[in-house]
Chain A
Amino acid sequence: MNRLKHLPTLRIDVSKKRFFTYRGKSYWGFFGDTVATALYANEVRIFGRSLKYHRPRGLYSLDGECSNTCMQVDGVPNVRTETMLLKDSLQVNEQNVKGSARFDWMGFMDKLDWLMPAGFYYRIMHKPAAVWPIAMKQLRKVAGLGYLRPDFEMKGSFDEIYPTADVCVIGGGAAGMNAALAAAESGLRIILLEARPHLGGCFDYRVSPYDNEKTLYERAGDLAEQVRQKDNIRVFTHTSVVGVYNNNLITAFQVGNERDQFAERYIEIRAQSVVVATGCIERPLLFEHNEKPGVMQVGCAHRLARTYGLLPGSDAVFSVGHDLGLEAAVDLFDLGLKLPCVADIRQDGQDPRWLAALAERRIPLLQGWVAAKAHGGKQVKQVTLTTVDGTVRRRISCDVLVASAGLTPVNGPLTLAGAKLAYDSHTGYFLPKDLAEKMVTAGRMTGRNHPLSIEASGRLAGLQAAAACGADNQATLTAAEADLLGLPGPERGCKLVTAPVKGRKTFICFDEDTSVKNIKQAVDIGFDGPELIKRFTSAGTGPGQGGIPGHNLPLFVAHYTASTATPKPTTVRPPLVPTFLATYAGAHHDMSKQTPLHDTQVSAGGVFRRIGVWQRARYFSSDLDCKEEILNVRNNVGLLDASTLGKFRIHGPDALKALQRVYVSDMSKIREGRIKYSAMCNDDGCVIDDGVVVRTGENDYYFTTSTGRADATAEWIRYHTRFDGWDFHLVNLTDAMGVVNISGPNSRKVLEKVADTDVSNAAFPFAAYREFTVNGFIPVRAMRLGFVGELSFELHAPSSWMPALWEILEEAGREFGIRNFGVEAQNVLRMEKGHIILGQESEQRTNLLDLGLGFLWDRAKSAARTVGAVALRQAEPDTGRLKLVGIQMEDNARAPKDGSIIVEDRVRGYVGTARKSFTIGKAVGMALVESPLSEIGMRLAIYEDECNGRLLYASVVSMPFYDPEGRRMKM
């Protein structure tokens, strides 16, 4: 196709070719082309087939408002080729076709629309019930657009940025640019977002006069240059807003151009105030076959010529309801398009300039006429025009039908920010009321179409946004208000809802093949609101995010139901514009923590798993049951990296008071050189943490928390002491100190070789705390603990020393066969001993008493001053709570999965941890069950995930399973 290469409005560079393939054949376009315009230039008119009926679809909006031009590009389905810029080497294919877009074997579906009435999948194929699973599979095969290979890997770099601004302007048209410039006058930082690859909006491609000197596109160029000159305006083009949230948080994504190092990037902006100047899109005209290739919107036809140098066809009929349509008709005629006729829905009210221009060019204008039907097999060949009342019809040959009922504002950002929309009978728009705080609107979306009014409203909005940021601009603002009042206000809009047709092939939603007839069927069934009808018919739920049906659906429902109430639009939700999950994922750095012994554990063959924020060695062999690791601890000596424990110093005159507040035990009873094990509860008495506390000096304590609570502990203590004015200081030492746990009957033999102190049972008994050095230089805080049920020493040392400490212990233990054990082995060892892990054996509603930890609670403490004590007092006499019990499986070779539920006629508990114990040779575990099921010997039925109804059985047994007298950890 010949391109119009010398238009001053072009956004393509005809000196730079870009090559691509379509269906395996090579084509080329120009730099600045979209994939769709390049295909159009290469005579491609059918881009794909529709969802249900496999109807041919072509260019319609050029802004990606529907799925018509969604295609597979470089293996990615559903790429909106109307907005994707052409690049070299792209591989483009059509989608949703059997054969090709032009000859689709599934095209017969279009004849079967009578089999698929509104909501057919809810209503038919459900009786007898056995039919539905079969039908569902078949429906799923044909449903959906595009195909993504399961092993597909997204190419390109996906980035993210978080720029900050005082004022964020959404929309880079004339109003948006004026808003940005006006706000920038106050020295504020402005961000301007524009969805197209260039600024200009509806001025960008129009050659109509702006004033006596300039055309609209020249004015747009001037404004863009002014914006560019401002240091405090930051422009993001090709950037679509996807979400607007509380306190003016704007999310968007930007498509990278050939020079950018990102394919797309996610943008998150926190602004003080926001100007929404998103303009209008066109309201589709409803008539028979209104989506046939060759039917396109006014802006599409006009921009195709002026921006991309492509005449949309040779003979075009216009059926429009606004002056932009007449302006486009005149301009396209001047560019060489033949115009057999222009039909204007309006009987009167047209801009006299355009009436004169049409008359001057002898273009027939039919006022009060509208398109009723587009004819042709796969493309438009003729159109039937009719009077609005349907009394007279006329058939005209053409290859393009430019159709548009009117305009509709792009309100998505406003509604996401909480504004309610109300139908305005003057403009015919859904206009916002109760705008979010510090959010203003400007431009065409307010109903203003006069260029000077558009600019003046933008300037006023910019000044208002600046004032909302604290700028002292009242005088300027008042003058801008006066300027706007002196200019033409919002214009009267076209109210026609549909051409006088039955609507069988009049599509209200192109994405979902929802016709006017479908909407009527839904209403006739009893659905009376657009929101319900949207769900029942799926109108507006496709990739276009409601862009095509968003305005027409509520209008048509109100029209068909003869509602006297004003129409109500359907809800919009983010993302306003669909984008890739890869864009949301961004750079996706795995921000996990490593312990000071990470490299040591890697060298030792550790198999790592992410546990909370940490990377931890879970296994040290391919045996996921960890038999050797477990038995080595039970019979010999093992080393565990426990550095992820939370570790804190609390000191100051009131440190003890703070500990008393958050721990359930009486912390004043901590003895010199001894460890105090205790727990923290929340206000409901539910256990949130457990750990040990030692006194390291006067008013000075060192305590540990569970790994998962480390980050929350400081805030927890601060929160629960916030009104007391106590004098204490809390320092998080979690990362400052590493921890190695040396456990097993030979652990003392290893430690005594390197410790510069007596570690005998007499000198360093169970539950004692000592400070000493290892090999004379590594300072160690040591605790005699028994989490795994064996003689154990927990050694805390500064992180930098940890690799050396580990190496020393390994060397000292070599003669005993010391070896690492990981988190899974520790999990089994402590389970055998009946020691709990919070979150594993407990959940949100499990209190201290449920877990059998009531012995920790000092009831003599003031309940009102101990977090959770009041609730514990109330819960204590309650016999209907869950209880932690030990369970032994009837089949000793088979332990249930963690989290499996215990069932009777209902869920009556769940398994915390269960494993086959190599130590005792039985499959055992711990479970939380309802009290009546907690009796020793009670038989429990366990339903395991994906067990297909085959239950497992266990009996309640006493705990601990291993060394119930606790001799081994005290040896």
Chain B
Amino acid sequence: MNNRILVSRLNRTQAAVWHLGRGETPELPVEPGYTDVSEASAFLVLFGPNVFSIAEKLTPLDFMQPDRQAPFLLQGPFSHVGCKIIVLAKKKNGSGAILLTCARGYAEAMVHAILAAGAAYGLRPAGESRFTSWLASLQD
């Protein structure tokens, strides 16, 4: 991750490039190798003190592997839906942040599932500003 551009190699030939910043979206390079899939995905961020306690109610993916340093990417089911998930930060006490993308069509169901799973922990929706300021503090 650099300058709020997060690049993740997905396989031998493909990589995902995510712009995490606020405001102007960078132009897509005019090269045939790029496909703009902004419309294809729902993009959600969970951050705060109980992120991984909430996440383990929704996925068997192991975000807390001691030998993996954030940021790292996992692909797998989250609330039974295939997702790409990037662990942006993690602490031993279970706090941290994950970014997850899933097919856009699942957006509403996914938000409901996450909010229901997080209700016991006081999970609330937050705006983009809250996230970008948190991200800035992380990078600082």
Do A and B interact? yes
Q: Give the B-binding residues of A (Cβ under 8 A).
A: 159-164, 187, 189, 231, 261, 268, 270, 587, 589-596, 613-614, 649, 651, 697, 699-700, 727, 729, 731-737, 798-800
- The reply to whether A800 and B32 contact each other, CB–CB distance below 8 Å, is no
Instruction: Give B75-93 as 1s and 0s: 1 = Cβ < 8 Å from A's Cβ atoms.
Output: 0000111000000000010
Q: Could you show 29 A-B contacts with beta carbons less than 8 Å apart? A: A159-B57, A160-B57, A162-B56, A164-B60, A164-B62, A164-B64, A189-B64, A268-B60, A270-B60, A587-B117, A591-B81, A591-B109, A591-B113, A596-B104, A613-B105, A614-B105, A649-B35, A727-B13, A729-B14, A729-B33, A731-B35, A732-B40, A733-B35, A735-B104, A736-B37, A736-B39, A736-B40, A799-B39, A799-B40
Chain A residue at smallest Cβ distance from B92: A231
Find B32's partner among A159, A700, A737 (CB 8 Å cutoff): A700
Q: Which residues of A contact B109 (CB under 8 A)?
A: 589-594
**CA gap between A187 and B116 in the complex, in Å:** 33
Indicate whether B100 reaches chain A with its CB closer than 8 angstroms.
Answer: no
**CA gap between A731 and B110 in the complex, in Å:** 22
**CA gap between A800 and B38 in the complex, in Å:** 10
Q: Give the A-binding residues of B (Cβ under 8 A).
A: 13-14, 32-33, 35, 37-41, 56-60, 62, 64-66, 79-81, 92, 103-110, 112-113, 116-117, 120
Chain A residue at smallest Cβ distance from B54: A161
- The reply to whether B39 and A697 contact each other, CB–CB distance below 8 Å, is no
Chain A residue at smallest Cβ distance from B14: A729
Beyond the given pairs A164-B60, A587-B117, 18 more chain A to chain B contacts, judged by CB atoms under 8 angstroms and listed by A's residue number, are A160-B57, A161-B56, A162-B58, A164-B64, A189-B64, A270-B60, A591-B79, A591-B106, A592-B106, A593-B106, A593-B109, A594-B105, A649-B35, A651-B32, A727-B13, A731-B37, A734-B40, A736-B37
Q: Which residues of B contact A163 (CB under 8 A)?
A: 56
- The reply to whether A589 and B106 contact each other, CB–CB distance below 8 Å, is no
- The reply to whether B32 and A735 contact each other, CB–CB distance below 8 Å, is no
Q: Which residues of A contact B79 (CB under 8 A)?
A: 589, 591
Nearest CB on A from B56, distance (A) = 5
- The reply to whether B14 and A734 contact each other, CB–CB distance below 8 Å, is no
Chain A residue at smallest Cβ distance from B108: A594
- The reply to whether A589 and B112 contact each other, CB–CB distance below 8 Å, is yes
Looking at B40, B56, B110, which has the most chain A CB atoms within 10 Å of its CB? B40
**CA gap between A727 and B32 in the complex, in Å:** 13
Nearest CB on B from A455, distance (A) = 28
- The reply to whether A734 and B103 contact each other, CB–CB distance below 8 Å, is yes
Nearest CB on A from B64, distance (A) = 7
Q: Which residues of A contact B65 (CB under 8 A)?
A: 164
Nearest CB on A from B51, distance (A) = 14
Q: Which residues of B contact A596 (CB under 8 A)?
A: 104
Q: Which residues of A contact B32 (CB under 8 A)?
A: 651, 697, 699-700
Chain A residue at smallest Cβ distance from B103: A735
Chain B residue at smallest Cβ distance from A738: B39
Q: Which residues of A contact B107 (CB under 8 A)?
A: 594
Q: Which residues of B contact A799 (CB under 8 A)?
A: 39-40, 104
Nearest CB on A from B3, distance (A) = 25
Looking at A593, A734, A799, A800, which has the most chain B CB atoms within 10 Å of its CB? A593
- The reply to whether B105 and A595 contact each other, CB–CB distance below 8 Å, is yes
Chain A residue at smallest Cβ distance from B62: A164
Q: Which residues of B contact A649 (CB under 8 A)?
A: 35
**CA gap between A270 and B103 in the complex, in Å:** 26
Chain A residue at smallest Cβ distance from B109: A591
Q: Which residues of B contact A737 (CB under 8 A)?
A: 39
**CA gap between A212 and B78 in the complex, in Å:** 53
- The reply to whether B104 and A736 contact each other, CB–CB distance below 8 Å, is yes
Q: Which residues of A contact B14 (CB under 8 A)?
A: 729
**CA gap between A261 and B116 in the complex, in Å:** 12
Chain A residue at smallest Cβ distance from B59: A162
Find B39's partner among A591, A595, A727, A800 (CB 8 Å cutoff): A800
**CA gap between A588 and B137 in the complex, in Å:** 36
Chain B residue at smallest Cβ distance from A157: B120
Chain B residue at smallest Cβ distance from A613: B105
**CA gap between A825 and B67 in the complex, in Å:** 56
Nearest CB on B from A376, distance (A) = 50
- The reply to whether B80 and A591 contact each other, CB–CB distance below 8 Å, is yes
Q: Which residues of A contact B103 (CB under 8 A)?
A: 593, 734-735
In the complex with contacts A189-B64, A589-B79, A161-B92 CB distance below 8 A: no
**CA gap between A802 and B57 in the complex, in Å:** 34
Nearest CB on B from A605, distance (A) = 20
In the complex with contacts A589-B116, A590-B109, A735-B41, A161-B104 CB distance below 8 A: no
**CA gap between A651 and B31 in the complex, in Å:** 12
Nearest CB on A from B94, distance (A) = 11
Q: Which residues of A contact B106 (CB under 8 A)?
A: 591-593
Q: Which residues of B contact A697 (CB under 8 A)?
A: 32
Nearest CB on B from A647, distance (A) = 9
Q: Which residues of B contact A162 (CB under 8 A)?
A: 56-60
Nearest CB on B from A734, distance (A) = 7
Nearest CB on A from B8, distance (A) = 15
Find B110's partner among A161, A189, A591, A614 (CB 8 Å cutoff): A591
**CA gap between A737 and B105 in the complex, in Å:** 11
In the complex with contacts A591-B110, A729-B33, A735-B120 CB distance below 8 A: no
Q: Which residues of A contact B40 (CB under 8 A)?
A: 732-736, 799
